[in-house]
Structure 1
Amino acid sequence: MDNKNMDAIESKDKILNAFRPIENIFKIMDTSAPEVYGELTQLYSEIGNILCKNFRNELESVLFKNVSRDIDK
Structure 2
Amino acid sequence: MSVEELGNSLAARRAELGITQQRVADLGGISARQLIDWENGRGNPGFKQLGAVLAVLGLQLTIIKPHQL
- TM (norm. structure 2) is 0.31
Larger radius of gyration: 1
- TM (norm. structure 1) is 0.30
- Compare the two structures and name the one with the higher helix fraction: 1
